[in-house]
Structure 1
Amino acid sequence: MEPTTDRLKTPRAAGMAGIAFALLLAAAIVLMRIAVPSGSADATVDPDNRWAIQVSLEIVPFAGIFFLWFMGALRTHTGAAEDRFVATVFLGSGFVFVATLFAAAAAAGTVLSEGTPSEFGRHYAYTLLSTYAMRVAAVFVLATSTIGRMLGVFPRPLALLGTLVGLVLLVVGSGVPWSELLFPAWALIVSIHILRARRGTARTPGQDRPHPS
């Protein structure tokens, strides 16, 4: 009885953590994009928008924590059936993404602390986020979609969507503004699927009970 309960709780934890991560990361990206210009070299940060940088910096650590919870719950759900090579890429890309995300937030913090934000600080923060963090996130998406497809955890359309999102993030990188939002959008879709799949699994035992004659 206990193993079944654990199997039902793990997808729920992954789904809830994934939704929290997706919403927090999306909010942090939007706030950072609004507050810190990424365009011309002479662009300046509007003093009225400095609050957005502060809120974004407060959000990022919680987004990273929920992402680690999301990643751990997903790996526990796959269990010993996962491919070790793909699982290693899955774990490695996840950890590097969180580290790079925190580094990008720290770089953005220098923009907030400086009286006159420098072009270097602004460019460094965006390079870490859009070029490095998002490309590592692309590897995580591709590894997760591969594991989901191999184990039958993800339906074929969801696995194909993950492959497409991963390739776009990997190839496009910082070339298209706001493309970073593809990652939290994918995480949100996967989390909703996990919760819906768990709800269907939880109803199955009740449906199998024999009717009294």
Structure 2
Amino acid sequence: MSTPLQFHRLTTPRAAAAAGVLFSVLFTASLVLLWTTVPEGGAHGSQWTVAGSGHLKTAAALMPFAGIAFLWFIGVVRDGFAGVEDKFFSTVFLGAGLLFLAMVFATTSVGIGLAHSSTDVTDPGARAEVVAFATMALTALGKTYALRMAAVFMISLATIWLKSGVMPHWLVWTTYITAVVVLVAADTSVWLMLVFPVWVLLVSVMLLGRSGVIHLPDAIE
């Protein structure tokens, strides 16, 4: 007589919350490389694509790993809902997170296209037009779309936290205020994108503290 199969419930590793920390570091590094190379607000000639091609290629190399870490971060956050998530807000939360990631990948892809334009587009006039279009597309993807999806991600997650009580109120209201500011002021500067990895870092530290990986003061917990 065969022995019945025994199934074990999968559990999220405690250290998995460190994925948010890894995302914050890689995403910030990629953003700094990208936005210190690309002139904000216009294409200001095409000569910068030659000097900055190395930065653009490095940013493109880092971003996929930041994206993988962000997917892990989403999984860790969902695991923390402990079965009390609201289906409506969870759908918005997941949709906004995945759209944010898609927009970020698209932004970086345009950046790598700019890096190769200095060698693959030989005609100076054509190169200037390609750079002008790609720069405007990159800026719009980053500021107008990706950043606002990040704000929706934060708002939906804060609402789930508020309804379930799984996170402290000070973090919920800090998230709401930060997300609203980002949502309204997204078009003012590409550097506002740095707000999101800082927020992810804060949430990750809270999750690591709750899992016992690090110790947090009682006032923060």
TM-score, normalised relative to structure 2: 0.82
Q: Check 1:37–1:16 CA distance in 2 against 1; reply closer, same or farther (3 A cut).
A: same
Equivalence for 1:82:
85
Bigger fraction of residues in helix: 1
1:168 aligns with 2:168: no
Counterparts of residues 96-175 of structure 1 (less than 5 Å): 96-115=99-118, 116=127, 118-175=131-188
Letter in 1 for 2:184: V
Decide which moves more: 80-89 or 144-153. Answer: 144-153
The separation in 1 between residues aligned to 2:108 and 2:33, in whole angstroms, is 12
Equivalence for 1:26:
28
Equivalence for 1:35:
37
CA contact (8 A) 1:25 1:63 kept: yes
CA contact (8 A) 1:27 1:56 kept: yes
Letter in 2 for 1:167: V
Equivalence for 1:17:
19
1:95 aligns with 2:98: yes
Deviation >4 Å, runs of 4+: none
The separation in 1 between residues aligned to 2:169 and 2:80, in whole angstroms, is 19
The separation in 2 between residues aligned to 1:60 and 1:89, in whole angstroms, is 23
The separation in 2 between residues aligned to 1:160 and 1:166, in whole angstroms, is 10
Q: How many residues align?
A: 197
Q: Check 1:153–1:200 CA distance in 2 against 1; reply closer, same or farther (3 A cut).
A: farther
The C-alpha deviation readout for 1:152-185, integer Å capped at 9, x for no partner, is 2221111111111211111111213411100001
Q: Secondary structure at the match of 2:199?
A: helix
How far apart are 1:144 and its partner, in Å? 1.3
In the alignment, which of 191, 197, 212 is matched to residue 210 of structure 2?
197
CA contact (8 A) 1:165 1:183 kept: no
1:57 aligns with 2:60: yes
CA contact (8 A) 1:19 1:188 kept: yes
Unmatched tracts of structure 2, length 5 or more? 1-7, 119-126, 216-221
Letter in 2 for 1:85: F
CA contact (8 A) 1:24 1:60 kept: yes
**Identical aligned residues as a percent:** 32
The separation in 2 between residues aligned to 1:178 and 1:200, in whole angstroms, is 31
The separation in 2 between residues aligned to 1:155 and 1:43, in whole angstroms, is 49
CA contact (8 A) 1:54 1:112 kept: yes
Q: Check 1:43–1:155 CA distance in 2 against 1; reply closer, same or farther (3 A cut).
A: farther
The separation in 1 between residues aligned to 2:161 and 2:37, in whole angstroms, is 37
